[in-house]
Amino acid sequence: MNHSQKIITTLHDVPPTLLIDQQESLLAIPLVKKSYEALQSYLPLNSIDDNQCTLRNTQRLARAIVLFPFLIGMLLFFYHNIVSFVVQKERNEANIMDWVELVRKEYGEEFYLRKDLPDYMEDARFIGNDKTISFWKYLYYRYNYFHASTKFLIIDFLQFSSLLVFSLYLIHRCFFWKLQAPIFIDRQRQLFFSWYKGKVYAARYSQVGVSNQTDPMKIVHLMGLAMYTLDDNNALARRAFQMCLSYGSLWGFNTRLRQDEAHAFIVKYLLQGKDAVAATDYKRFPALFLFKDKKPADFDEQLERILAELDKRDGEKINTVSKSATA
């Protein structure tokens, strides 16, 4: 067995089928022209006008209905644990001071200076003549003099460090996670494009693919529009951009019906115009992300090179087919 062979196949690795090959069946799907209100609730759409349509991915939806609620819940749970710890400290502090008072009555006011103080009273010597116990002194007492103090140390460390790490992770995902670019559809040029981490991905309508991947249990169904970029060797590389078809898309629960409806919307927009699918222009409220995956500075140059390479590939395919037919 070749262990260097790729074990996990991602959606990007799945050979796509051409969207244009489904054109006839997609045009036959009846679609009601969407009003402004219907466009607002249409999850795949980010914006639409006569010249351009943009489709959004699941990132913005995931932040709104998953990450924000999780963050709020985590912060509330964190706050609850801190309050519980403070209440426990106050209760334990009262018990500790009562114990110190008993030692003081038995060994005098300066008991903490006595060398004959029993070992089991060393914790009282640590408190000494203090009237209150500071937070840091309480922590030292808790993790050195409490019964099962090591157990308390491990539990407290795991609990609060886990809460802190998860809270910081969710804060990062909610506010500092880079907003990915949508899928752009240029109707005039019949062109699909987007970008990811500085690389432009593009394809003409006749070249854009549809990648589908289903798990063995037939539960999770991933779908993406396959577009192309150039790798470091100037060879075509493919990436499937997933659309937000439904709320279930966050977990890969897509249906063929939702997929076909979205594709029919795209194809009818490309071939018949905005008026075939939407009653008005629409643009979704900008996502409140602090960072965005910025459009590459050399976008036009990359786009031109990608399209040229795609056209070259298609030309070679046509020549190969022609030679096979005449052979």
Residue pLDDT, tens place only, 27-53: 999 999 999 999 999 999 999 999 999
User: 119: Cβ–Cβ under 8 A, 6 or more apart, which residues?
Assistant: none
Greater confidence (209 vs 255) lies with 209
314 and 235 in one domain?
A: yes
Tens of pLDDT, residue by residue over 100-110, are 999 999 998 88
Reduce the DSSP state of residue 286 to 3 states and report it. coil
Asked which of 176, 193, 219 is the last residue of a domain, the reply is 176
Q: Please state the domain count of the chain.
A: 2
- On whether residue 156 sits in a domain, the answer given is yes
Q: What is the pLDDT of residue 216?
A: 75
Residue 218 burial class via C-beta count within 10 angstroms: exposed 0-12, middle 13-18, buried 19 and up: exposed
Query: What is the Cα 243 distance to its own chain's centre?
Result: 14
The answer to whether 14 and 150 have CB atoms below 8 angstroms apart is no
d(CA 19, CA 1): 36
172 and 148 in one domain?
A: yes
137 and 186 in one domain?
A: no
- On whether residue 5 sits in a domain, the answer given is no
Asked which of 176, 209, 234 is the last residue of a domain, the reply is 176
Q: Are strands 209-214 and 199-204 parallel, antiparallel or unpaired?
A: unpaired
> Which has the minimum average pLDDT: 4-13, 54-63, 280-289, 310-319?
4-13
DSSP string, 55-108: E--SHHHHIIIIIHHHHHHHHHHHHHHHHHHHHHHHHHHHHHHHHHHHHHHHH-
Average pLDDT over residues 267-276: 96
Residue with the two structure tokens 């992300």 = 289
Residues above pLDDT 70, as percent of the chain = 93
Asked which of 137, 160, 176 is the last residue of a domain, the reply is 176
Residue range of the domain that includes 115:
67-176
Average pLDDT over the chain, rounded to an integer? 89
- On whether residue 222 sits in a domain, the answer given is yes
252 and 145 in one domain?
A: no
- On whether residue 212 sits in a domain, the answer given is yes
266 and 191 in one domain?
A: yes
pLDDT range class, residue 292, cuts 50, 70, 90 = confident
Q: Are strands 209-214 and 17-18 parallel, antiparallel or unpaired?
A: antiparallel
d(CA 250, CA 245): 9
35 and 90 in one domain?
A: no
Q: pTM for the whole thing?
A: 0.78
Average pLDDT over residues 6-21: 80
169 and 30 in one domain?
A: no
